[in-house]
Amino acid sequence: MLNGALPFRGHDESETSFHIGNFLELIKLIRDQNEVVGKVTLGNAPGNNQMVAPSIQKDIVHCFAQEVLKYIFQEINDDVFSLLVDESSDISKKEQMVVVLRYVTCGIVKERFVGLVHVKDTNALSLKSAIEFLFVEHDLSLKKIRGQGYDGASNMRGQFNGLKALILKENSSAYYVHCFAHQLQLVVVAVAHKHIEVGKFFDMISSLMNVVCASCKRSDMVRESQKEKVQEVIGSGETETGSGLNQELSLGRPGDTRWGSHYKTLKRLVDLFPSVIEVLQYVEEVCENPCSQRQANGLQIYFQSFDSVFYLHLMLHILGVTESLSQALQKKDQDILNAVSLVKSTKRQLQQFRLDGFCRLLEKISSFCEKHDIETVNMEEIYVNPKNRRHKTNITYRHYYEYECFNTVMDMQIQEFGDRFDEVSSELLTCMAALSPHYSFCDFDPSKLLRLTEFYPDDFNDDERTTLEHQLQLYIDNVQHDELFANLKGISELGRVMIETRKHLVFPLVYRLLKLALVLPVATATVERCFSAMKLVKSALRNRICDDFLNGCVICAVEKEILAKVTNQDVMTCFQMMKTRRNQLM
């Protein structure tokens, strides 16, 4: 039940109930299968000691959660870690703060959820106080933080009074990294806000979602229409069949805070375009609301125009390039250097598409227009400005779409990309790049690695810096002549292989540098996943769960891997030690 974020209590727990709740139903099942258990549980146990009360259930959850946390803190073992934090409201409109720790154990990067804290005020001081309380409870120290990762909200990263600055005052080595995935999403949103036509396009997409997905009937019409068209192309042999192919599709509403949602929406629109147009025609003809009819008519005109098809395919390509980066950034074990490399690769792809992508884009647009009977424009004709048709522009349609539309949007995208990821060129990351194992450690630079130690004064003293200077020469010669270190893809793999070959014992100071690079956070995707688990545990039907009980349930629901390792004996020991019990379980 904890593993699946299921409720313990039942709506009706009386003897005549057909379902008395998951907890009691599970006990009934066990006692029916085990005669020994049946003799001492439920009705066969003393009336004042059946161990099924809500308080007992909460104690059991607390014990499981404590065992999970004990495992996590044993892994950290007083080592350095990074702090990932975000806050969101639950179903009861309570502000809940999620705390995730990123650390390295046995050469492997891990991000673990350690607590959900109810904060009555979301200013930076309140958040810091809540974090300090959690750290004191689990015997953690702010001095061990080597990185901070937040989503970029003002109360989190404000330069003077944000949480970032408050923690930096106490620990100068707690370097802040703005969530890469969040920055990537902001790139798309920023261009949509700045460019009038792109902004108009996404506004029309939003209106389209409101009309087409306004009712279950219209959504079903899209699915049924798409199903009929798939059957037609299968019958004519125009498409392949097999497991996982030709599945049922539906439109999804994009959101600024849902990473990758814009790309999925546009991709589905291309796949379901004729079905969507049919629904708009249906709304215009059948709907009794004149406002909806006018809206459907306007959407038909817009989405069957060359302009909309142009921006649909342009933004689909841009979002397709960035989608791969978005998925990579959300991996828990992604390291900061590999993330920086992926960002640079994505930027180069966008720049290359800016130089030679217009003709390829035009071919896709022409093919789409021909397939769906959309009128195209002659690129060699003189462009007519729809806002002022009498004014002669003296430019062709090709010039307009290539230079004033395509190039402008791409330039804005590339510039925004550079502005949002300006932090990746900092001296700290430049020094860390010397650890990269790419191409037989071609970026290795002892001077940069020695400079890197200066960023972490609490981790290296003067004697260790002198020792490291000599150790680096032996280290690079050793790993360059070891086949196990050839073809490594990043510092994450380097850390793992160093542990496997026990070179972390031979070169402990190099491994310490490597750990400091690995703990720097990349994205807050783990934090977002914790919020998803919170919404499963505390739902509209279970909106009165107390904070401690909610915290325990979410810890167990998120850290399933560790929960599976917790034994019944560990839980019984913890349960018995919480307070004096009438019965001894051991």
**88 pLDDT higher than 90:** no
Instruction: Return the pLDDT at 233.
Output: 53
Would you say the C-alpha torsion 478, 481, 485, 486 has a positive or negative sign? positive
User: 3-state class of 480 per DSSP?
Assistant: helix
> Which domains does the chain show, CATH number per domain?
53-179+524-586 (3.30.420.40), 184-422 (no CATH), 427-519 (no CATH)
Mean pLDDT of the chain: 84
DSSP symbol at 531 = H
Cβ atoms of residues 158 and 124 within 8 Å? yes
How far apart are alpha carbons 350 and 318 in whole angstroms? 7
Instruction: Return the pLDDT at 1.
Output: 62
Residue 471: strand pairing partners: none
Residue 283 class from Cβ within 10 Å (0-12 exposed, 13-18 middle, 19+ buried)? buried
**349 pLDDT higher than 90:** yes
User: 3-state class of 81 per DSSP?
Assistant: strand
Tens of pLDDT, residue by residue over 272-302, are 888 888 888 888 888 878 888 899 899 999 9
Would you say the C-alpha torsion 544, 545, 548, 554 has a positive or negative sign? negative
Out of 78-92, 101-115, 176-190, 420-434, pick the least confident. Answer: 420-434
How far apart are alpha carbons 377 and 388 in whole angstroms? 18
C-alpha neighbours within 13 Å on the C-beta side of residue 284? 14
Give Cβ neighbours of residue 214 (< 8 Å, ≥ 6 apart).
none
Closest listed residue to residue 260, CA positions, set 346, 319, 194: 319
**218 pLDDT higher than 80:** no
Query: Terminal CA-to-CA distance of the chain, rounded, Å?
Result: 23
- For the chain, helix (H) and strand (E) counts, in that order, are 28, 5
How much is the average pLDDT of 358-384? 92
Out of 29-43, 283-297, 338-352, pick the least confident. Answer: 29-43
How far apart are alpha carbons 217 and 227 in whole angstroms? 15
C-alpha neighbours within 13 Å on the C-beta side of residue 385? 9
Residue 343 class from Cβ within 10 Å (0-12 exposed, 13-18 middle, 19+ buried)? buried
Tens of pLDDT, residue by residue over 442-454, are 989 999 999 999 9
At which residue do the structure tokens 């978005």 appear? 326
H-run or E-run covering 427: helix 427-432
- Residues 535/539/545/546 CA torsion (nearest 10 deg): 30
The one-letter amino acid code at 196 reads: I
Give the distance between the most distant pair of CA atoms in the chain: 94
What is the bridge-based pairing of β-strands 108-118 and 95-105?
antiparallel
Residue 83: strand pairing partners: 101, 148
Instruction: Return the pLDDT at 561.
Output: 92
Cβ atoms of residues 164 and 372 within 8 Å? no
**100 pLDDT higher than 50:** yes
Residue 149 φ then ψ, to 5°: -130, 115
Cβ atoms of residues 519 and 513 within 8 Å? no
Q: Token pair for residue 544?
A: 């009165």
DSSP symbol at 259 = T
How far apart are alpha carbons 393 and 391 in whole angstroms? 6
Instruction: Return the pLDDT at 159.
Output: 47
**113 pLDDT higher than 70:** yes
How far apart are alpha carbons 202 and 266 in whole angstroms? 10
In this prediction, residue 248 has a pLDDT band, given cuts at 50, 70 and 90, of: very low
**256 pLDDT higher than 60:** no
Instruction: Return the pLDDT at 252.
Output: 65
Cβ atoms of residues 337 and 355 within 8 Å? no
Q: Which residue has the higher pLDDT, 440 or 161?
A: 440
**133 pLDDT higher than 70:** yes
**509 pLDDT higher than 90:** yes
Instruction: Return the pLDDT at 246.
Output: 41
Task: Write the Ramachandran bin of 93: left for phi over 0, alpha for psi from -120 to 50, otherwise beta.
Answer: left
**27 pLDDT higher than 70:** no
Q: Token pair for residue 534?
A: 């919170």
CB atoms within 10 A of CB 535: 15
Closest listed residue to residue 141, CA positions, set 61, 237, 76: 76
How much is the average pLDDT of 314-332? 89
Would you say the C-alpha torsion 259, 263, 264, 269 has a positive or negative sign? positive
3-state percent helix, strand, coil for the chain, nearest multiple of 5: 60, 5, 30
Tens of pLDDT, residue by residue over 415-473, are 988 888 875 557 888 899 999 998 889 989 999 999 999 999 999 999 999 999 999 99
How far apart are alpha carbons 67 and 565 in whole angstroms? 9
